[in-house]
Amino acid sequence: MNRGTLVTFFSHSGENYKVGTIDKGNARIIAEMISHILGVPEYEICTENGYPDDYEECSRLAKKEREENSRPKLRFPIPDTSDISSIILVYPNWWGDLPMAVYSLLDAIDTKGMKIYPVCTHEESGLGMTDRMLLQSYPDASIMKGLAIRGTTVQNNVSGVEKMLETYLEDCGFSIR
C-alpha cells in the first residue's frame, strides 16, 4: 500500500505563531515523521525567494501572494510523479488557505487519479478551507480525509503527534513500519 506514495511538505521556520522562533517548522516535523513511519520519500516545497523569518513580514507576503493568487517559483526541480499514486500533502494553514507555493507544485504535476491526503498544521482554524480548495482546484484528483494538528502540539507533544499520525495513516489504509 505504501508503494507509490510521496510525502510533500511546505513549512516555515523562524518566528512562528504562538511557538516562538523555531529551527524546524511544524509541517516539516510532521512530514519527517510520516516519511519515517511509512518508509516513503519526501519532497520539500520551497520557493526560490523563501519567506522572511519575521512573523509579521512573512504574514504580509503570504497575504499578498494569496490576494494575487500567485504561483511562486519553486527552488527544487518538480519531482517525477509518474509512479506516484498517493501524495500526503503536509502544510500550514495560511489565512485559511494553502500557502500559494503548494499550488505551484500541484499545478506542475499531473494530479489526475491521484489520491491527495491533506495534513494541515494550524493554531486554531484546523483545515480551514484547505480541503475544499483542493477539491475545487484539482477536480480530477481524489481528495481524501484530512488531518489537522496544532503547531503547539507538534512542539510540545511529539509522542502524542506520532500516535495521532499512526492512527490516521492506518485508518487511511497505509502500512505502518
Ligand X SMILES: Cc1cc2nc3c(=O)[nH]c(=O)nc-3n(C[C@H](O)[C@H](O)[C@H](O)COP(=O)(O)O)c2cc1C
Three-class SS of residue 7? strand
With respect to ligand X, which residue has the nearer C-beta, 32 or 177? 32
For residue 167 the three cell numbers come to 492512527
Footprint (CB under 6 A) of ligand X, residues 8-47: 11-12, 16-17, 25-28
Those residues with Cβ within 8 angstroms of residue 39's Cβ, 6 or more apart along the chain or in another chain:
2, 177
Q: Which of residues 108-147 bind ligand X (CB under 6 A)?
A: 121-125, 128
In the bound state with ligand X, the residue whose beta carbon lies nearer, of 38 and 62, is 62
Residue from the set 45, 62, 102, 141 that interacts with ligand X by CB under 6 A = 62
Cα(65)–Cα(54) distance, integer angstroms: 17
Distance of closest approach, residue 77 Cβ to ligand X, in angstroms: 22
Q: Measured at the alpha carbon of residue 62, what is the angle toward residues 50 and 12, in degrees to the nearest 5?
A: 50
Q: How far is the CB of 26 from ligand X (least distance, A)?
A: 4
- Give me 40's grid cell: 516513503
Cβ proximity of 2 and 174 under 8 Å = yes
The smaller minimum CB distance to ligand X, of residues 32 and 123, is found at: 123
Residues that bind ligand X (CB under 6 A): 11-12, 16-17, 25-28, 58-59, 62, 92-96, 121-125, 128, 151
